[in-house]
């Protein structure tokens, strides 16, 4: 549950870390299952297609996995769905949204040593929740710090509009979008331990640098949610699901959006 102080901090900064939310045993199981699935490389229908810089690009071997919760026939799909609909998350998200949370997406990032990061961006550029914004629950599966490409956030940037991104440096970021830090703000590192969850607003500017460590992964399991009161969301995120697993219908949009680019692509 959230305290009044935590809610005020979230409203002010746009993010909040809940420590030791998952046990060491739970984290070990999640890592084992996903690493086992990826032991032979990318998994068709599950792994993202990322443009590799070279044949030995670490992300060619370990690209992120998209929507694993949509694969209930796999053990990792069951774990991802359990995370997405973890009943302990519902009251926290309800407090942060001030509305019922609806599950929209899961992702798994491996981020092995030497992997590029993801340039600063805003999640609602992709989810296109309207009105309102989305919310992320980002579960750390390893110790995360600046060296192994831990998360960076720009406190207070959630009060900014979602902006049309610039082109990222693809030698540092696997994604092509980049949002500059607004004047007077700065990006800060969020150091986390396995089992910690970072909750953040869909308009918050965030990202991560490359993993410059020699032998440390920076794995994470991520879920995105939308508020029940919203009217539309990008089509990539269907089906939407309540915490009781009932499906939810919204207007699904698949046009290019205000920035003139396709934004319903995998994120």
Give residue-wise pLDDT tens across range 143-181: 999 999 999 999 999 999 999 999 999 999 999 999 999
Banded model confidence at residue 259, pLDDT cuts 50, 70, 90? confident
Tell me whether residue 105 is in a domain: yes
Tell me whether residue 262 is in a domain: no
Q: How far, in Å, CA of 179 to CA of 164, rounded?
A: 8
Q: How far, in Å, CA of 67 to CA of 232, rounded?
A: 19
For 231, the domain range is 4-49+57-253
Banded model confidence at residue 200, pLDDT cuts 50, 70, 90? very high
- Residue carrying the six token digits 């986390």: 192
Tell me whether residue 261 is in a domain: no
**How would you classify the pairing of strands 188-189 and 152-153?**
antiparallel
Q: How far, in Å, CA of 258 to CA of 147, rounded?
A: 36
Tell me whether residue 264 is in a domain: no
Tell me whether residue 174 is in a domain: yes
- Residue carrying the six token digits 């396709």: 262
Q: At residue 41, does pLDDT exceed 60?
A: yes
**pLDDT score recorded for residue 261:** 61
CATH of the domain at 69: 2.60.120.620
Q: At residue 262, does pLDDT exceed 80?
A: no
226 contacts 134 by C-beta, under 8 angstroms: yes
Domain count, the chain: 1
Q: At residue 264, does pLDDT exceed 70?
A: no
- Closest C-alpha to 209, from 142, 267, 147, 155: 147
109 contacts 218 by C-beta, under 8 angstroms: yes
Tell me whether residue 9 is in a domain: yes
pLDDT tens digits for 224-258?
999 999 999 999 999 999 999 999 999 999 866 77
Q: How far, in Å, CA of 31 to CA of 228, rounded?
A: 31
pLDDT tens digits for 48-78?
988 888 889 999 999 999 999 999 999 999 9
Tell me whether residue 243 is in a domain: yes
Cα–chain center distance at 246: 23
Tell me whether residue 260 is in a domain: no
């Amino acid at each position: 549950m959230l305290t009044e102080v935590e809610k005020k901090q979230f409203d002010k900064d746009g993010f909040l870390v809940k420590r030791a939310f998952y046990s060491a045993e739970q984290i070990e199981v999640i890592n084992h299952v996903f690493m086992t699935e990826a032991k032979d490389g990318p998994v068709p229908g599950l792994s993202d297609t990322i443009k590799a810089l070279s044949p030995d690009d670490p992300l060619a071997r370990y690209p992120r996995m998209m929507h694993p919760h949509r694969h209930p026939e796999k053990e990792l799909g069951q774990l991802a769905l359990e995370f997405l609909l973890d009943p302990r998350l519902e009251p926290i998200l309800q407090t942060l949204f001030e509305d019922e949370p609806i599950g929209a997406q899961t992702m798994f990032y491996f981020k092995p040593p030497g992997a590029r990061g993801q340039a600063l961006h805003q999640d609602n550029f992709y989810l296109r929740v309207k009105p309102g914004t989305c919310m992320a629950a980002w579960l750390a599966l390893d110790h995360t710090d600046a060296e192994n490409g831990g998360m960076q956030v720009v406190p207070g940037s959630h009060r900014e509009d979602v902006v049309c991104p610039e082109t990222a440096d693809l030698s540092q970021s696997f994604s092509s979008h980049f949002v500059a830090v607004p004047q007077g703000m700065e990006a800060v590192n969020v150091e986390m331990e396995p089992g910690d969850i970072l909750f953040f607003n869909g308009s918050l500017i965030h990202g991560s640098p490359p993993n410059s460590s020699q032998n440390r992964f920076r794995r994470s399991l991520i879920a995105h949610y939308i508020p029940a009161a919203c009217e539309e969301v990008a089509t990539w995120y269907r089906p939407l699901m309540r915490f009781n697993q009932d499906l939810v219908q919204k207007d699904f949009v698949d046009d290019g959006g205000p920035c003139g680019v396709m934004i319903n692509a995998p994120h």
